Amino acid sequence: MRVLHFFKTYWPDTFGGVERTIHAIAKGTEKHGICSEVLSLSRSPDTNTMLFDGHMAYKAKLDFELASTGFSCDVFRHFRELSKEADIIHFHFPWPLMDVVNLATRHGKPTIVTYHSDIVKQKTLLKFYQPLMFRFLGGMDRIVATSSNYLRSSEVLRAFSSKTRVIPLGLSEGDYPVVAEETRVRWSSRLPKRFFLFIGVLRYYKGVHVLLEAARQTGLDVVLIGNGPLEDELKGKVRQQNLSNVHFLGALPDEDKVAILDLSLGLVFPSHLRSEAFGLSLVEAAMRAKPMISCEIGTGTSFVNLDGETGLVIPPNDATALSQAMTRLWNDHQMALSYGSNARRRYETNFTAEQMAQSYMELYREVASSR
């Protein structure tokens, strides 16, 4: 069976949460006889179309971006050609151009869409896009929500609940490098003896400004891995307030990231808006048996991190609550260890890439047979 994944970005241009999910699905379902291909946009399509970890990553030329949406004239031709060879087309929402391509090409193939997130920020544009969005989702054979929390809290998903399945996102330990001892020693010598860790792109919904205020209130060491559009602003705030206990490391390779995660006391994930639909960094922390602090925003973050079991869940955008949660874990070593052990068990039960791939393989076959 051939499956065509369609999303606005993919490796090697970017490799964030959605891209990692597509990769894990493609790699995991290959063991079940599924041949996957991925079509995305790129500013350098001629040099970026290549074989990636057992599947082809095709590129159409990115013409321009508007409101975080990539546009391309070339993608219609690429999609039409690749969809002819596909048995199933697997869309990854949201991306409005994808809806237009699906409608315009009239490919006639079975379709599923993984609904990664509501459209949260572009509320004005959403009013114009909504009719197309509902037509697109209404035409899908199946819709996949990444957590039961998101299915319950999304007004859009509730409108299509009869054909929506829940398949949690998963990660494979085998996709992460084994940390060399010299790497671990190097970071241990560079970083504070005890610290909390943040991992993620520095975007508007990540709540890093709340984390900086909590760091100011507590004086506890906080290490941040990642870069992004708010990097300069956040670093400026750290300099202005002379927060010597806040350490920005920028984007790092996976080996360094895993080494630092292992050295940390736990992961702080202060995302405060629904744009954070799941939080794969939480899964990474659970995979490494680390306790977590996250916010209750009605999304998958509270599906991964269970309050009082794998970590602490606090109100969003509340620096005082975050300070108190950090202080609790800092002062109670046994609690932190217990939460970390529970997180690891929850990862093994719910969030492995193998389980996710198995669920998608079964869904592919169900959709194909129903057609």
pLDDT in tens, the chain (371 residues): 999 999 999 999 988 889 999 999 999 999 999 999 999 999 988 777 899 999 999 999 999 988 778 899 999 999 999 999 999 999 999 999 999 999 999 999 999 999 999 987 776 777 888 999 999 999 999 999 999 999 999 999 999 999 999 999 999 999 899 999 999 999 999 999 999 999 999 999 999 999 999 999 999 999 999 999 999 999 999 999 999 999 999 999 999 999 999 999 999 999 999 989 999 999 999 999 999 999 999 999 999 999 999 999 999 999 999 999 999 999 999 999 999 999 999 999 999 999 999 999 999 999 999 87
Residues 6+ apart with CB under 8 A from 323: 214, 217, 218
Q: Are residues 234 and 357 in the same domain?
A: no
Please give the residue range of the domain that contains residue 12: 2-171+352-370
Q: Are residues 6 and 35 in the same domain?
A: yes
Q: Are residues 248 and 148 in the same domain?
A: no
Instruction: Calculate helix-pair angle for 208-218, 319-331, nearest 10 degrees.
Output: 60
Q: Are residues 16 and 148 in the same domain?
A: yes
Q: Are residues 165 and 179 in the same domain?
A: no
Q: Are residues 243 and 290 in the same domain?
A: yes
Strands 55-61 and 64-66: unpaired
Q: Are residues 345 and 360 in the same domain?
A: no
Q: Are residues 164 and 239 in the same domain?
A: no
End-to-end CA distance of the chain: 14
CA 173 from chain centre, in angstroms, equals 16
Q: Are residues 23 and 135 in the same domain?
A: yes
Check which CATH number belongs to the domain holding 313 and give it: 3.40.50.2000
Q: Are residues 153 and 230 in the same domain?
A: no
Q: Are residues 111 and 226 in the same domain?
A: no
Quote the number of domains for the chain.
Answer: 2
Q: What 3-state class would DSSP assign to 18? A: helix
DSSP line for 280-317: HHHHHHHHTT--EEEE-SSSTHHHHS-BTTTEEEE-TT
Compute the radius of gyration of the chain from its Cα atoms.
21
Q: Are residues 201 and 228 in the same domain?
A: yes
